[in-house]
Structure 1
Amino acid sequence: MRTDEGAELALADDIVGQARALSARLLVGLPDRWRHTIAVAERARELTGAVNPADCEILCAAAWLHDVGYAPLIVDTGFHPLDGARYLDGEGWPSRLCGLVAHHSGALFVARTLDLGDQMAAYPDERSPVTDALAYADQTVGFRGEPLPIEERMADMLRRHGSGSANATAHRFRAPYLLAAAHRVQQRLTLAT
């Protein structure tokens, strides 16, 4: 992982704007993925009340970047959370942001079924209000950017990926994690009002 403090500080000046611009550039040929990303970023902005004010920017930046690993330019393993994190790490993005992308929406559960768990360990898995809010934002927006209840989003994911997919194999572990994250976000939002 890159530890060049100067590179990370330069990114911090407008990390959300830079994240949006990079995502737009990388996902230009994937219109459905781009619509999903825009909607996830909008949802994340709505959820900033569920995180510490100091974490709002990192949440919004991670929302813009969470699916960049789908970009054909950067696909390596074929597992988009890991590919996205590796790309961002190589470009000097903050290690925390790389970890949020790598582990978004309980990705480690799926990575383990693909024998990529050891590679995911290179990125921090913080399990925090930020990871909860990012998962909630991602899992309440459909593939084409439409709002969906989390249960419908998970059912849609299983339909799209198929019953023999790594997503389906990991679902019995991942679904409870995602539902618990959603519950925690809803509780935090209630307490914030």
Structure 2
Amino acid sequence: MSRLQDVAAQVAEQHLAVAMPNRWRHVQAVARKAADLGSLAARDADLLVAAAWLHDIGYAPTITDTGFHALDGARWLRASGYNLRLAALVAHHSCAQYEADERGLGGILKTEFPYELSPTADALWYADMTTGPDGQDLTVKDRLAEIRNRYGPDDLVTRFWERAEPALVDSIQRTEERIANQPM
């Protein structure tokens, strides 16, 4: 592990392990999966794994501000001196723009953090959205069904996933194609 990955893992553990053990299990599994996908991100492998460790840091009770974890985590990372690209990957992970729009924070997210369409961003989304809440491997369809079931049909989270699903599935498919095209 690189220094950035080590620091990211320590920070995530510090903020999530005790306060949110289920979230911590999810984050650990996402980071392991991201490490396995590192070759897809080429020179950004270190950044990908660090973003995986930190993608849900905004859920931590000590960091939550707006209640929108992607924005809260990204703002905290930026304020803590992490580079803008890492904070932006966290800000926009897994179709966060759709949730930001539902919460009335879409303009703020777009203004504060640049959106990135890249193999690195896709791999982060893949690692997150094919990992269940307790760290189990899931298909993206099973993950979305689990989220909808957990939140219920009328929740804001369920509503945003209805709109976000096509973009998410496209991202997952791009990553699956990159995995399939990797040399053995």
Q: Does TM, scored on the shorter chain, surpass 0.5? A: yes
- Alignment-derived partner of residue 111 in structure 1: 100
% identical equivalent positions:
40
Task: Name stretches of at least 5 consecutive residues in structure 2 with no aligned partner.
Answer: none
- The alignment covers a number of residue pairs equal to 180
Q: What is the CA deviation profile of residues 103-137 of structure 1, one whole-angstrom value per residue up to 9, with x for unaligned ones?
A: 00010011101101012020111111111100000
Whether 1:34 aligns to 2:20 is: no
Task: Name stretches of at least 5 consecutive residues in structure 1 with no aligned partner.
Answer: 1-12
The answer to whether the 8 A contact 1:62-1:97 is kept is yes
3-state secondary structure, aligned to 1:192:
coil
Larger relative contact order (CA 8 Å, sep ≥ 6): 1
Q: What is the CA deviation profile of residues 111-166 of structure 1, one whole-angstrom value per residue up to 9, with x for unaligned ones?
A: 10110101202011111111110000001110011111111101111111221222
Q: Which amino acid aligns with 1:170?
A: F
The answer to whether the 8 A contact 1:37-1:67 is kept is yes
183, 187, 191: which is aligned to 2:177?
187
The answer to whether the 8 A contact 1:69-1:81 is kept is yes
The runs of at least 4 aligned residues of structure 1 exceeding 6 Å deviation read none
The answer to whether the 8 A contact 1:132-1:185 is kept is yes
Q: Which moved more, 1:63-72 or 1:172-181?
A: 172-181
Q: Which amino acid aligns with 1:60?
A: V
Partner Cα distance (2:104, 2:173) in 1? 29
Q: Which amino acid aligns with 1:134?
A: L
Whether 1:76 aligns to 2:65 is: yes
Partner Cα distance (2:101, 2:82) in 1? 25
User: Over aligned residues, Cα RMSD in angstroms?
Assistant: 1.1
Partner Cα distance (1:189, 1:145) in 2? 20
- Alignment-derived partner of residue 87 in structure 1: 76
TM-score by length of 1: 0.90
TM-score by length of 2: 0.94
1:158-169 to structure 2, matched below 5 A, reads 158-169=148-159
Q: What is the CA deviation profile of residues 36-72 of structure 1, one whole-angstrom value per residue up to 9, with x for unaligned ones?
A: 0000000111112222x21100000000000000100
Partner Cα distance (2:65, 2:144) in 1? 25
